[in-house]
Amino acid sequence: MLPVDDLGEPVPLDRPRRVVSLVPSITEAVAVSVPSALVGATDYCTHPSGLDVGRVGGSKYPDVGKVLELRPDLVVANSEENRPEDVERLRADGVPVWVTEAPAAVPMALASLRRLFGLAWDLEPEWLVRAEELWRDEKPAVLTAVVPVWRRPWIVAGRDTFATDVLRRLGIENLYASDGERYPRPALQELNDRRPDLVVLPDEPYEFTHEDGPESFPGLPYALVNGRHLTWYGPSLVEARASLERALGHGRG
C-alpha cells in the first residue's frame, strides 16, 4: 500500500533522487537534510543561501514545463501555496506529487515534515528533533498583537495560521486568532481601534521597515521581525525562537 500525503492522496515514495520543491520552507528542509536529492525550486526559495538548483518560477504560478524538464521523481507542494490545477497537471504527466497541508500550528508543521522525511528517506534530521524540543511549550499570554502581512490592502494573520501559533508559544496572543478567516482584511482604522499591545511587522511577504508600516499605527508599539522566522517551518525554526524573542523584546526563561 502506498503512503498517503497530508491530504490523503497515495504517493509512491522510494528514496526520491530528483526532488522539485514548490514550497520555500520545504526547499530549505530538503536542501539541508538530503542535499543531493534537490534538483529544482521556485524563484522564492531563498534558503539555504547560494542554493544552486533549477528554478521553476513562482509558487502560485510555477512553470510546469520547467518542472517536467527537471525529470523529478517527486514534487513537494502545499495546499495553500500551490494551485490544485498545477498539482493535477503534474500527476497527469506521471509525476508523483506530495502535498502538505497548510500548518495551523508548529507541532503540526513539524509532524508533517517528520512523516515526509521518514517515509521518503527513512530519515530523522537533527534540526527537526531540535526544533520540536524548542517549540514544544507555550508561554502564558502577556501581550496582545496584530500581525499585518500586507498593506494596500491591509491583510493580517488570523485564525489557524502558523504565525499565530508561533506568537502564542512566545506568550503573545493574536487579536485576530478567533476571526472567521485565516487572513482577514480589516480596515486600518479597525486595526488601530483594537489597541493591541504590539504591532508585529515581518519583512515578508510584504517588506515592512521602520519607514514603511509603523507610521500607520500612531501611538502603538511595533516590532520588526524576520518574516522567515515567523512563517517558515523547517531548519529556520532552530534559530527562530531566540531571534523572535530578541526582536519582540519578549525573551524570558
Phi, psi angle pair for 116, to nearest 5°:
-60, -50
- pLDDT confidence bin for 249, thresholds 50/70/90: confident
Residue 214 has what pLDDT?
97
Report the 10 Å Cβ neighbour count for 144: 16
CATH for 19-102 is 3.40.50.1980
Within this chain, domains 19-102 and 137-248 share the same CATH topology: yes
Write the single-letter amino acid at 38. L
Cα 252-203-126 angle, rounded to 5 deg: 60
pTM here is 0.92
What does the domain layout of the chain look like in residue ranges?
A: 19-102, 137-248
Which pLDDT tens digit goes with each residue over 168-222? 999 999 999 999 999 999 999 999 999 999 999 999 999 999 999 999 999 999 9
1 pLDDT band, cuts 50/70/90, is confident
Query: What are the CB-based long-range contacts (under 8 Å, 24+) for 134-137?
Result: 134/237, 134/238, 134/241, 135/106, 135/107, 135/110, 135/166, 135/169, 135/237, 135/241, 136/107, 137/169
By percentage, how much of the chain surpasses pLDDT 70?
98
**pLDDT, position 185:** 97
Distance (Å, whole) CA 204 – CA 157: 12
**How do residues 78-110 score in pLDDT, each as one tens digit?**
999 999 999 999 999 999 999 999 999 999 999
Please give the single-letter amino acid code of residue 3.
P
Protein fold of 137-248? Rossmann fold (3.40.50)
Closest CA relative to residue 171, chosen from 136, 135, 139: 139
Q: Would you state the torsion angle of the CA atoms of residues 190, 193, 198, 199, taken in this order, to the nearest 10 degrees?
A: 30
